[in-house]
Amino acid sequence: MTERTIAVDYLARVEGEGALTVRIQDQRVEDVKLRIFEPPRFFEAFLRGRSYLEAPDITARICGICPVAYQMSSCHAMEHALEMRVDGMIRELRRLLYCGEWIESHTLHVYLLHLPDFLGLPDAVRLAKDHPEAVRRGLALKKAGNHLMQVLGGREIHPINVRVGGFYRCPTVDELGALRPELETALGLAEETVRFVAKLPLPDVAEDYEFVSLRHEHEYPLNEGEIVSSRGLRIPVTDYESAFEEVQVPHSTALHSVRKGGGSYLVGPLARYALNHDRLGPRARAAAKEAGISDVVRNPAQSVVVRAVEVVYACEEALRILDAYERPAEPFVPPPETRTARVGMAATEAPRGTLYHRYRLDPGGLIAEAKIVAPTSQNQRRIEDDLRHVVERSLAMDEPALTDACERAIRHHDPCISCSTHFLRLTVERS
Amino acid sequence: MHEEALFAGLTRKVEEVAREHQIRRVTRVRLWVGALSHLTEEGMRRRWELEVPGTIAEGATLIVETSSDLSDPRAGDVLLKSLDGDG
């Protein structure tokens, strides 16, 4: 037997694709259907029969870009079920971890997924060639978010240090303090990012969105708040399912969320900003003002600016928390014994938008039922509406140009869809 | 976050190449990770440990070369560079 080396040079690809079917009759768009080819993942079923303590680690696996969001929504939902209150420094550390995720996720979206579209470039590789200084800035900023996740979460992706009641271990003052110089630099880079994206040639469109997000009494929303909408909805998170419902559509494995008795709505940066701009920190507010964006942004392309403003906020909020940090005596609030069946729900603000979790626990603390409504499924109906308008404006385009326009419209909202949709298969049925 | 989807294709390719070259046991797999690929070596290794048991690459050493060259035309990609094996 001999050992041999075989040169391969095979390009590995993420296996995911989206398809858009457009039906046009007499120069009118009759129907638009967006399909994302992702097999059902059965997370809600996996959770049944597992201890409530396992939910943060299991649900974190739903998304590699926003695992913290899943950990936070599941922890808060369990704490609601168990009537626990987590305050003080542990609450602050949760916000800090969330800031790390926002910095990382938003920066990835702004620089590597969104920016090439506005500069007429095919992808991030070409962007790195033509605008190396911008990509370096983006990567440095993303790294600052990654470091926060590493120090507080135990590792950059799928953190392992989060538990119901708080953390397994809280960092020392010195460990967190060591992040300060990098975060200060990141704040400056985030402000530069806002200035940079504000100068981009953005298409001038406006959509009539119903914005939905959390709103908190004092803070820009991350972990807590009421659910509010730009059309007057204001409810506690516990009433979420009275206002929103998930519906099955034959053309997608993902459920679509709609307002009960209404239509599509939008969660995410545009919604958060429209409903909470008065809660931003001074640096983020100044950055938004300098960028010249109004208090309510209805142009989906301008989400690149709003996302950049939210990165400024995440950096300044992280620095605020860091400076006031004192290591808590205990890293978590111990959960009480469970002896009765309980129900708990919570919503937090993932970078892509509101993430709702509800759990029913049996008397032994095992999960009897889980419901998870992700931002992607909440926005999918609304993204279809955006796509319909894109197609209506672009009937004269040939199909490659139309495909490109539709891919861009998706990338305004969702890094997850856009990541798996580099090759949107467009089918136009004309009659 | 796409390690699973990525490795599904990679392990299939390793098996295919090994079969093609009459390799009975893969001992080493070399990957090259571009600077803009959004993947970390740590994440790749974790996924590797989950993916390879039961395949021809079970027990093989994974070598990950992470590039920092932003101007590389393949900076956004992951490449299966080579594999070593007995046979």
Q: Tell me, what's the pLDDT at A34?
A: 84
Distance (Å) of CA A63 to CA A24, A312, A349, A352: 35, 23, 14, 11
Question: How many other CB atoms are found less than 10 A from the CB of residue A61?
Answer: 15
The residue in chain A having the minimum alpha-carbon distance to the alpha carbon of residue B25 is A3
pTM for the full predicted model: 0.86
CB contact under 8 Å between A125 and B75, yes or no, is yes
**How far from each other are the two terminal CA atoms of chain B, in whole angstroms?**
34
Report the C-alpha gap between A301 and A304 in whole angstroms. 6
Q: Tell me, what's the pLDDT at A122?
A: 82
Torsion of CA A96, A98, A104, A110, to 10 degrees: -120
The more confidently predicted of residues A38 and A134 is: A134
Q: Tell me, what's the pLDDT at B7?
A: 81
With vertex at residue A53, the alpha carbon angle to CA A47 and CA A57, rounded to the nearest 5 degrees, is: 65
Q: What is the DSSP string of A247-280?
A: E--TT-SS-EEEETTS---B-SHHHHHHHHGGGS
CB contact under 8 Å between B27 and A3, yes or no, is yes
Q: Tell me, what's the pLDDT at B2?
A: 66
Is residue A405 within 8 Å of residue A424, measured between CB atoms?
no
CB contact under 8 Å between A3 and B84, yes or no, is yes
Report the C-alpha gap between A397 and A426 in whole angstroms. 13
Report the C-alpha gap between B7 and B14 in whole angstroms. 10
Q: Is the pLDDT of residue A419 over 70?
A: no
Q: Which of A2, A3, A352, A420 to mutate to test the interface with B (most CBs of B within 10 A)?
A: A3
Closest CB to B38: pick one of A2, A12, A108. Answer: A108
The residue in chain A having the minimum alpha-carbon distance to the alpha carbon of residue B86 is A3
- A81-118 pLDDT per residue, tens: 999 999 999 999 999 999 999 999 999 999 988 999 99
CA atoms within 13 A on the CB side of A98: 26
Report the C-alpha gap between B53 and B49 in whole angstroms. 7
Closest CB to A3: pick one of B1, B80, B86. Answer: B86
- A135-177 pLDDT per residue, tens: 999 999 999 999 999 999 998 878 999 999 999 999 999 999 9
Report the C-alpha gap between B73 and B79 in whole angstroms. 12
Domains annotated for chain B, with CATH where assigned, are 3-86 (3.30.2320.50)
Q: Is the pLDDT of residue A184 over 70?
A: yes
Closest CB to B6: pick one of A5, A12, A128. Answer: A12
How many CB pairs below 8 A link A and B? 108
Averaged pLDDT, A210-227:
97
Q: Tell me, what's the pLDDT at A239?
A: 98
Q: Is the pLDDT of residue A420 over 50?
A: no
Chain B residues lying within 8 Å of A60, measured CB to CB:
none
Q: Is the pLDDT of residue A38 over 80?
A: no
The more confidently predicted of residues A289 and B76 is: A289
Q: Phi/psi of residue A72, each to 5°? A: -70, -45
When computed from its CA atoms, the radius of gyration of chain B, rounded to whole angstroms, is: 13
With vertex at residue A256, the alpha carbon angle to CA A43 and CA A36, rounded to the nearest 5 degrees, is: 75
Closest CB to B17: pick one of A6, A64, A132. Answer: A6
Report the C-alpha gap between A406 and A390 in whole angstroms. 7
CB contact under 8 Å between B17 and A2, yes or no, is no
The residue in chain A having the minimum alpha-carbon distance to the alpha carbon of residue B2 is A14
Burial class for A63, CB neighbours closer than 10 Å (0-12, 13-18, 19+): buried
Can you give the residue ranges of every domain in chain A?
43-334+370-430
A43-334+370-430 falls under which CATH superfamily? Cytochrome-c3 Hydrogenase, chain B (1.10.645.10)
CB contact under 8 Å between A10 and B82, yes or no, is no
- A353-395 pLDDT per residue, tens: 999 999 999 999 999 999 999 898 899 899 999 999 999 998 8
Closest CB to A14: pick one of B2, B86, B87. Answer: B2
CB contact under 8 Å between B13 and A8, yes or no, is yes
Is residue B33 within 8 Å of residue B67, measured between CB atoms?
yes
Band (pLDDT 50/70/90 cuts) for residue A416 is: low
Mean pLDDT, chain A, whole residue set: 91
Query: In Å, how far is A421's CA from the nearest CA of chain B?
Result: 13
Is residue A151 within 8 Å of residue A179, measured between CB atoms?
yes
